[in-house]
Amino acid sequence: MLGIHDFWLFAASGVVLTITPGPDTLYILGRSIAQGRRAGVLSVLGISTGIMVHTTAAALGLSALLASSAAAFSVVRWIGAAYLVYLGLRMLLRPTTGDQPAAGTTPPMSPMGVYRQGLFTNLLNPKVALFFLAFLPQFVDPHSPHRIAAFLLLGLEFILIGTTWSLCLAWFAAAASRRLREQRASGRWLGRASGVLFIGLGARVARG
């Protein structure tokens, strides 16, 4: 179908790769623990949108440009690392007194803001782009006249697997931390812990 072969092997590989903890998984857990289920779900949707962009770029060959340019790869990697560190510092340095809500662990943020952060976290990780460029072609016939459609279909399948798993993670993480978030002192520590987590993610991305 559309030049796709070994589809079930692709699906099985997608499940294994999805449940293996990585930066996206840790980001979703951090957001869910710090801000609750809604923020976790919005982060999942943002990350899934980013994966869709990477899939489209791989299908169109744009990721090859990133793979062939060490300078471009480094620039994108450092921007992504800096963004994650920035998010972590915001959570660590936020005021701990005054008008902070009892249940909140981070400054108020619009749903679009949470979604946008998840999107940028994924888009600014060049390893994701290179992963799709290397992984998807293994299951597409290079001589098929429908290569782009095959790439997109495989990408959508990967997104479906990843989104389902990530939503489960967000739900359980938010439920497990709900009582802690409802206590002001515990909520502050959760926010700080999430800030440290994001800074750690930034350092991990920077190391490559």
Rounded Cα distance between 187 and 123, Å, is: 29
Q: At what angle do helices 184-207 and 147-181 cross, to 10 degrees?
A: 150
What's the pLDDT score for residue 168? 92
Rounded Cα distance between 25 and 170, Å, is: 9
DSSP structure class, residue 136: G
Residues of the chain under the 70 pLDDT cut: 1-2, 62-68, 70, 72-73, 76-77, 80, 84, 91, 94-109, 179-195, 197-198, 201-202, 204-208
Q: Report the 10 Å Cβ neighbour count for 21.
A: 9
C-alpha distance from residue 148 to each of 7, 155, 195 (Å): 16, 11, 39
User: pTM for this one?
Assistant: 0.67
Rounded Cα distance between 45 and 162, Å, is: 10
What's the pLDDT score for residue 98? 41
What's the pLDDT score for residue 109? 65
Rounded Cα distance between 158 and 136, Å, is: 10
Give the start-to-end residue ranges of the domains of the chain.
23-93+105-207
C-alpha distance from residue 204 to each of 82, 90, 168 (Å): 11, 18, 24
Rounded Cα distance between 162 and 158, Å, is: 6
